[in-house]
Amino acid sequence: MEEIKKTLAGLIKVEGMSKEDIYPLLCVPPDPALGDYSLPCFRLAKTLRKSPVAIAEEVAKSITTLPDGISGVSALNGYLNFTLDKKSAAEKVVKKVLKEKNNYGASAEGAGKTVCIDYSSVNIAKPFHIGHLCTTVLGQSLYRIYEKLGYKCVGINHLGDWGTQFGKLIVAFKKWGDEKTLAERGVKFLTEIYVKYHEEAEKEPSLDDEARAWFKKIEDGDEEALRLFGLFKEITLAEVKKIYDRLHVSFDSYNGEAFYNDKMQPVLDELAEKRLLVESDGAKVVDLSAFNMPPCLLVKADGATLYATRDLAAAFYRKNTYDFYKCLYVVAYQQNLHFAQLFKVLELMGKDWAKDMVHVAFGMVSLEDGAMSTRHGKVVLLEDVLNKAVQKSLDIIKQKSPDLEDKEKVAETVGVGAVVFFAQYNNRIKDMVFSYDKVLNFDGETAPYVQYTAARCKSVIRKVGSYDLLKADFDGISDAESAAVVTDLGKFNEVIRSAAEKYEPCYVARYLVELCKDFNRFYLANRIVNEPDGIKYARAALTEAVGTVIEEGLRILGVETPEKM
């Protein structure tokens, strides 16, 4: 599509303006009946001191021969309108998609640049609840989006594996736990004894002293303390990994908070050297009052470091290790202040790369019945949500396609896909309400709708059998419905680029729904299988191209495409 825009920009000759000046002014008119591209001439009226109507007419007249791919030019109400040759546009795009297959839409603008993406970043011994859904899937999609644009990506699970709570957990485990139950019941068991610890510690404050002592042992590298903590970590990660597999999520690094224990001091030293670290009631802080922010607390009066201290060390580590072009933190908006402080401290330290750090914030998910609370052990586990979505998908599939093979497998793809797609369908900053019926609506703006359309494409191709692209008659896809699909296909790379620029996978999700709607309109308006060969081949080719782009778009979002549905 950009090629066409470039051709048009070169075609339009206006006094005192270059191709480069014209290019950004070209736009797609809202009503395709007016044309496929327009130049709104009122933008030129001032410089040329002529009316837009006169400019449009003069330029239209000056264009005497039309280059390949453009079939008409006209002036209307101060707009210079171009129509594309639908047939040649269709041929071009369809051939390109079929040739490049799942590489279609890729580009190399990111070559040589690295993007670090901190996502999911779960806490050890805590359940994986619905609140982790967005960070996990948005982060992984951004990974695939940047990768598609040629960037090298580093996916980082910044584990929450440090803190006094682990001292408490060891005390609880030694009092009420045993390894057999832990192996059987996993994180659920750890959460239960942790809740029990808090109940008991209210009555028996000496427990907290024990907990502190155990935490100190972890810090000092005591063998038993490390072994128990290692066990909690292993159990948590094994459970979480099962979910990651279902969500098609993976990481290049699991360096969490504990990893930075020995990497904070040099940063604190540099802060002190730069006179940025000030004492406040015995604690060490960076004063941010000049920026309307509370101080960034880095060392407590008792010498303990904090979440922010570790994040600061992690930022340096990432810069030194990966020399990132950008470092993204896909973390809920509740941590807005934390990241604003972190980035500001780096800026005050004179690190020009502070500008390359981005907090990719997102809103909260709640369930229709209002459930969400993470306190008091009452959590909505993501695994339960996935299982229920899969079960409901299976019921729907049994009803809709009783003869389908591998119903369970398809149900897993559809159920999990529905949840994953839902989390990425809206601008990420919005809070959202999860409803099983909505996300599983086969006619809604949902994964099942998109998957169903992809399966329809595959089924058409199966029916057509082998076809010969060389004998395709592209007049068969030059009608308005086909043209809308062709335009969509042509936009794929632009969509991925804007998703990267704004850190919004929802652009890809929304694009896919649009593409499916347009394709289904095409499918309703055009017969395929029983047409003469030339027409049939062209429509089959368009169908296959759509299937390819849907599958690739879904892959980017972490959603699988079933062969049949």
Residue from 91, 118, 445, 504 that binds ligand ARG (CB under 6 A)? 118
- Shortest distance, CB of residue 450 to ligand ARG, whole angstroms? 30
Q: Does residue 331 bind ligand ARG (CB under 6 A)?
A: yes
Residue from 81, 121, 393, 446 that binds ligand ARG (CB under 6 A)? 121
- Shortest distance, CB of residue 166 to ligand ARG, whole angstroms? 13
Residue 353, φ and ψ in degrees, nearest 5? -75, 0
Candidate ranges 116-124, 208-216, 282-290, 500-508; the one touching ligand ARG (CB under 6 A): 116-124
Query: Is 113 in contact with 75 (CB distance < 8 Å)?
Result: no
CA separation for the pair 163, 362 (Å, rounded): 25
- Shortest distance, CB of residue 371 to ligand ARG, whole angstroms? 19
The tokens for 29 are 């008119």
Report the catalytic residues: 126, 129, 132
Residue 155, φ and ψ in degrees, nearest 5? -90, 125
- CA distances for 384 relative to 127, 312, 389, 391, angstroms: 11, 35, 9, 10
Kindly state the greatest CA–CA separation across the chain. 92
Candidate ranges 118-126, 167-175, 419-427, 429-437; the one touching ligand ARG (CB under 6 A): 118-126
Token pair 């619905």: residue: 130
Question: In what helix (H) or strand (E) does residue 117 lie, and over which residues does it extend?
Answer: strand 114-118
Rank residues 121 and 341 by Cβ distance to ligand ARG and give the closer one: 121
Q: Does residue 260 bind ligand ARG (CB under 6 A)?
A: no
Rank residues 259 and 329 by Cβ distance to ligand ARG and give the closer one: 329
Question: In what helix (H) or strand (E) does residue 433 lie, and over which residues does it extend?
Answer: strand 432-434
- Shortest distance, CB of residue 256 to ligand ARG, whole angstroms? 8
- Shortest distance, CB of residue 379 to ligand ARG, whole angstroms? 13
Rank residues 58 and 347 by Cβ distance to ligand ARG and give the closer one: 347
**Hey, which residues between 157 and 186 contact ligand ARG (CB under 6 A)?**
158, 160
Residues recorded for the chain: 565
| DSSP E strand boundaries for 300-393 | 326-330, 357-360, 365-367
CA separation for the pair 470, 463 (Å, rounded): 19
Rank residues 52 and 139 by Cβ distance to ligand ARG and give the closer one: 139
Cα 247–Cα 333–Cα 357 angle in degrees, nearest 5: 85
CA separation for the pair 368, 435 (Å, rounded): 6
Rank residues 143 and 452 by Cβ distance to ligand ARG and give the closer one: 143
Residue from 71, 83, 123, 459 that binds ligand ARG (CB under 6 A)? 123
Q: Does residue 329 bind ligand ARG (CB under 6 A)?
A: yes
Q: Please tell me whether residue 280 adopts helix, strand or coil conformation.
A: strand
Q: Does residue 311 bind ligand ARG (CB under 6 A)?
A: yes
- Shortest distance, CB of residue 331 to ligand ARG, whole angstroms? 5
CA separation for the pair 88, 224 (Å, rounded): 72
**Hey, which residues between 515 and 554 contact ligand ARG (CB under 6 A)?**
none
The tokens for 532 are 């003469």
Rank residues 276 and 314 by Cβ distance to ligand ARG and give the closer one: 314
Q: Does residue 191 bind ligand ARG (CB under 6 A)?
A: no
Nearest alpha carbon to residue 436 among 484, 387, 474: 387
* Residues found near ligand ARG in the complex (CB under 6 A): 118, 121, 123, 158, 160, 311, 314, 329, 331
